[in-house]
Amino acid sequence: MTLPIALDAMGGDFAPGEIVAGARRAVDELGLNVILVGVPELLGDPRGLEVVACSEVIAMDDDPGVSVRKKKDSSLVRAAELVRDNKASAMVSAGNTGATMASALLRMGRLPGVIRPCIATPIPRPNATPMLLVDAGANAECKPEMLVQFAQMASTYVRAHYGVDSPKVGLLSIGEESSKGTPLVKETNQLLAAMSSLNFVGNVEGRDLPAGGTDQGALDVVVCDGFVGNVVLKFYEAVTPMIVGLIQKSCGIEPATLARSLGQLDYSEHGGAPLLGVRGVSIISHGKSSPRAIMNAIKVGVRAVDSGMNNLMTERLAASEQKHQTAEAS
Amino acid sequence: MTLPIALDAMGGDFAPGEIVAGARRAVDELGLNVILVGVPELLGDPRGLEVVACSEVIAMDDDPGVSVRKKKDSSLVRAAELVRDNKASAMVSAGNTGATMASALLRMGRLPGVIRPCIATPIPRPNATPMLLVDAGANAECKPEMLVQFAQMASTYVRAHYGVDSPKVGLLSIGEESSKGTPLVKETNQLLAAMSSLNFVGNVEGRDLPAGGTDQGALDVVVCDGFVGNVVLKFYEAVTPMIVGLIQKSCGIEPATLARSLGQLDYSEHGGAPLLGVRGVSIISHGKSSPRAIMNAIKVGVRAVDSGMNNLMTERLAASEQKHQTAEAS
């Protein structure tokens, strides 16, 4: 029997109401197997949904490290333990991102060879599979070897998850020339360019992100450190409503019409960002997730499990490590 | 007599045609005093505009350092020399940004005490003076002391240029807490928080940029390193057309109507970004500058000269340096 998805019912700006509603949609509409992890007296009536009870909640603004250490009976920590103990195949949370990472990392551990896990956020784009931004905020500081692993893991994910045969990988910089950027970017460029197993297209710029591509064609993966990734992502989330608001105000278009025309950019379609590099599947959803976004995040979790992405990533990292050692020995 | 503005007639995607047209508008409509620096046989008919002839052009994709060293008779280098030699009060260029910086820095030098000049790009926002993003791309790598100077120089500029009494300064990070971010950001936060002469509001996030402010109110200056600043700026320039394109396509709104509703975000209103910290005034315009943008950039140059911003910045940096030394001695 397939293992269920453990859903943190207490995480998110609209938890637990919208989260429970999302679980119900996943069960009713998609026939998926979901366990709610939450505080029973706060959950309302979960009507037939399976519940794993806990007594604590990690708040959106709790310190990630401290809260995961202290709140051992929180929904987040318990959800991660269900995956670790093989009682769930994946965890999904719309709660505190740092604490989600910490609980996944501390309870599940890393995949063999992984230096640091990263958040891979799908950026929706018109008429195409999303572009994956890694790292979208897990690691403010990175070393070149970490960025190389992010590229490998994200490339594997895009192939396994979206069926893109040879995902195009770009490195975010301030000029297309390999000589441009910080020492981190320059060194990473050299390492990526030397990897025959990656379809590395070179440096890309901020202007290539919204279009989802360069003159050379669509990008599938954009690699950057988690500081830049987080700034860009939060900027993007805020700039669209600002522009839409201005247009709405002066052109008198109905909000619903505008929403429809931007539907292709709706993050809730994609449901969540996988945390790549942990020994298990952990999907990080947007804090403002709707029931639909939660349903889709659960679907993303199921697909991540079914695609065997973690085995594929482990094999890929091991192969490149072996190649590296062979090259050094020869 | 007021000195003229030296305009690099050869720099920009639409040079020299649109640049010369912009000079003419500045002269005719605003009564400003402009010298064109350009290759006479390429300028067409400058009809009555004063021309300083040169023989070389630095291309948009030339290496900045190499081109400024080798092309000594280029329009960019000659424009910088006119300022150095007190024959022009400011230079304006829509050409190669790196080469504009290099020529200004090498020919004019730095203001006393300045570690590194920075690009201060005005981000238009609805119903308010623009928000200044420093550094928008001059320095991919920064030290905390540099970011502190960027904050001081930008704050002085906003006060002198836009008449904002006590400009609010934010530090771009990945969380509002002072403990969040890279070591660079954390250390800069401490230094800025200790400065009584700055209205420092603390860390801000990517989501605060489009709105031009945080919950605490509008921001006037956002400080970051030039790598992040460049990525955000280029991203912003590309994301707006992408969103507008989607809306236009599905709602059938006239492009002109949409353009009007976004007029408040039009960078050409603000004309150009000053290079802060050089011994002279150098205004960097967008590569795609229209005649209107060039006219406005010339106006920005005139105002930067008239406001005495360089003296104000020098005094401010000297005062804080003295305070620093007094504190160390005591």
Tally of domains in chain A: 2
CB-based contact B264 A257, cutoff 8 Å: no
pLDDT the model gives residue A211: 64
Q: Write the residue in B208, B228, B251 that is nearest to A257 by C-beta.
A: B251
A262 lies in the same domain as A288: no
Interface contact B141-A182, CB threshold 8 A: yes
pLDDT of residue A213: 59
What is the token pair recorded at A6?
């453990």
Which structural domain range is residue B8 located in?
A: 1-114+277-308
A316 within a domain of the structure (yes/no)? no
Query: How many CB atoms neighbour CB A151 within 10 A?
Result: 26
pLDDT at B244: 80
In the predicted model, what is the mean pLDDT of residues A93-121?
Answer: 96
Chain-chain contact of A206 with B235 (C-beta, under 8 angstroms): yes
- Does one domain contain both A287 and A258? no
Examine residue A314 and state whether it is found in any structural domain, yes or no.
no
In this prediction, residue A1 carries a pLDDT of 59
Q: Compare all CA atoms of chain B with the CA of A210 and give the residue at the minimum distance.
A: B239
Residues of A in Cβ contact (< 8 Å) with B180: 140
CATH classification of the domain holding B83:
3.40.718.10
**CB contact set of A213 (below 8 Å; sequence gap of 6+):** A131, A219
pLDDT of residue A214: 55
Distance to chain B for A264, nearest Cα, Å: 9
Q: Name the residue of chain B whose CA is nearest to A259's CA.
A: B247
- Residue of chain B minimizing CA distance to A230: B174
Per-residue pLDDT for A207 more than 60? yes
In angstroms, the separation between the Cα of residue B249 and the nearest Cα of chain A is: 8
Residue where the block lists tokens 């710029």: A205
CA distance A275 to chain B (A): 18
Q: What is the pLDDT of residue B54?
A: 98
The answer to the question of residue A220 being in a domain is yes
pLDDT digits (tens, 9 = 90+) for A150-163: 999 999 999 999 99
The residue of chain A nearest to residue B239, with distances taken between CA atoms, is A210
Query: CA of A184: which chain B residue's CA is closest?
Result: B141
Q: With contacts defined as CB-CB under 8 Å, which chain A residues touch B224?
A: 231
**Rg value, chain A, Cα:** 20
pLDDT at B256: 76
Using CB atoms, which residue from B141, B231, B234 is nearest to A228? B231
Note whether A178 and A293 are same-domain residues.
no
Does A58 share its domain with A100? yes
Interface confidence, given as ipTM, is 0.92
pLDDT in tens, A257-315: 777 777 777 777 778 999 999 999 999 999 999 999 999 999 999 999 999 999 999 99
From chain B, the residues in CB contact with A208 under 8 A are 238
Say whether B262 and A243 touch across the interface (CB within 8 A): yes
The answer to whether residue B79 is domain-embedded is yes
A217 shares its domain with A287? no
Same domain, yes or no: A258 and A135: yes
CA distance B133 to chain A (A): 14
Based on the domain organization, do A140 and A237 belong to the same domain? yes
Q: Do the domain assignments include residue A325?
A: no
The answer to whether residue A56 is domain-embedded is: yes
Shortest Cα–Cα distance, A235 to chain B (Å): 4
Same domain, A5 and A67: yes
User: Which of B227, B232, B253, B286 is the best mutation test for A, with the most CBs of A within 10 A?
Assistant: B227
Position B100 in a domain: yes
| Of the candidate ranges A214-223, A229-238, B138-147, the one whose mean pLDDT is the lowest | A214-223
How high is the pLDDT of residue A257? 75
Q: What is the pLDDT of residue B74?
A: 98
Residue A217, pLDDT score: 62
Average pLDDT over residues A80-98: 97
Q: Can you tell me the mean pLDDT for A120-133?
A: 87
Would residue B188 count as lying in a domain?
no
A88 plus A223 within the same structural domain: no
Indicate whether A251 and A157 sit together in one domain. yes
Whether the pLDDT of residue A322 is over 90: the answer is no
Helix axes A144-162 and A291-306, enclosed angle (nearest 10)? 100
pLDDT of A106 above 90: yes
Q: Report how many Cβ contacts below 8 Å link chain A to chain B.
A: 157
Same domain for A77 and A187, yes or no, is no
Task: Give the tens place of pLDDT for each residue, A139-152.
Answer: 999 999 999 999 99
Going residue by residue through chain B, which has 330 residues, state the pLDDT in tens, using 9 for 90 and above. Answer: 589 999 999 999 999 999 999 999 999 999 999 999 999 999 988 888 999 999 999 999 899 999 999 999 999 999 999 999 999 999 999 999 999 999 999 999 999 999 999 999 998 877 788 899 999 999 999 999 999 999 999 999 999 999 999 999 999 999 888 888 999 999 999 999 999 999 999 999 999 887 666 555 689 999 999 999 999 999 988 888 888 887 877 777 777 777 777 776 777 777 899 999 999 999 999 999 999 999 999 999 999 999 999 999 999 999 988 887 777 776
* Residue-level pLDDT at B290: 93
Q: Which of A52-56, A123-127, B307-311 is predicted with the least confidence, judged by mean pLDDT? A: A123-127
Cβ contacts (< 8 Å) between B240 and chain A: which residues?
239, 243
| Cross-chain Cβ contact B174/A140 below 8 Å | yes
My answer on whether A43 and A55 are in the same domain is yes
